[in-house]
A = this chain, B = another copy of it.
Amino acid sequence: MHSPEELRRLVDEALGRLELWPELHGQATSVRYSLQVGGKRVRPVLSLAVGEALGAPVAQVMPAALAVELVHTFSLVHDDLPAMDGDEERRGHPSTWKKFGEGVAVLAGDALVAEAFRLAARYESSAVARELAEATLGMIGGQYLDTMVEGYDLAAVHRLKTGRLFSASVTTALWAAGLPETEQGPWRAFAEELGLLFQIVDDILDEDGYVREHGAAAARRYADEAAERARARLAGIPAQTAVLREIVDGLAVRTA
């Protein structure tokens, strides 16, 4: 079993080694830039930890873990576009469109999605790809509601934008680790609570969503309750969940 910090190093190594499809030609440069300006890699680390809890080697779950990270990165690249949020910076670096221009940034996001599904399709079964496609569509729906619709329920929007793909880090890893569907129920309940926890803490850090709807104190209480439910779900799962427990605890108190 690897610690979260060790898993993160493995993810960064695998991203550095990731071979992009040769027909991308020069478009690969902006894809690689978008992937390498950092990030906490919290989603792929979670995927690998789920895999290890189920006894699956890191190498077996890595394609699914990277696929989720690529979809996450795609969403940042497109959300940063002038036609969307218009952010010029991302993690202290120029955002992809600011560095390469809007056209290349649109294509970089497109290529990240396609590479994500190429990774998901490394598994013989299409289950990882299906799970990822559904989460990606949920996230896109959330971005639509967030940027194009006034007054939509913020918690629902953030569940789609943030919680949806976060939960998919768990659920794609279940398929990648080869857990039969009949045994996935408790894990999916855990994934749901973890997505909610991640989303509420995000809102607390951004003073958005739950905080704007219910106030800071209530948001903090909701986060603690979601963490507590996630721990309870985890405790009921017959697997090696110590590292996952550590990840839950870290997510509940994270400050960035």
Binding site for B on A (CB under 8 A): 20-21, 23-27, 74, 78, 81, 83-84, 101-107, 109-111, 113-115, 117-118, 120-130, 132-134, 136-138, 140-145, 147-149, 160, 164
Contacts and interface: CB of A to CB of B under 8 A. Distances in A.
Contact of A83 (B106, B110, B128): B106
Contact of A144 (B27, B121, B142, B144): B27
Contact of A115 (B110, B125, B137): B137
Contacts of A145: 25-26
B106 A24 contact: no
Given A125-B124, A140-B111, A144-B24, A117 B103 contact: no
A159 to B, nearest CB: 10
Given A21-B134, A74-B110, A118-B134, 13 more contacts: A24-B140, A25-B149, A27-B148, A81-B106, A107-B143, A110-B113, A113-B114, A117-B132, A118-B133, A121-B127, A121-B130, A124-B125, A125-B126
A117 B106 CA distance: 19
A106 B123 contact: no
A137 B111 contact: yes
A234 to B, nearest CB: 26
Contacts of A122: 126, 130
B104 A106 contact: no
A114 B126 contact: no
In this complex, the member of A110, A122, A125, A127 whose beta carbon has the largest number of chain B beta carbons within 10 angstroms is A110
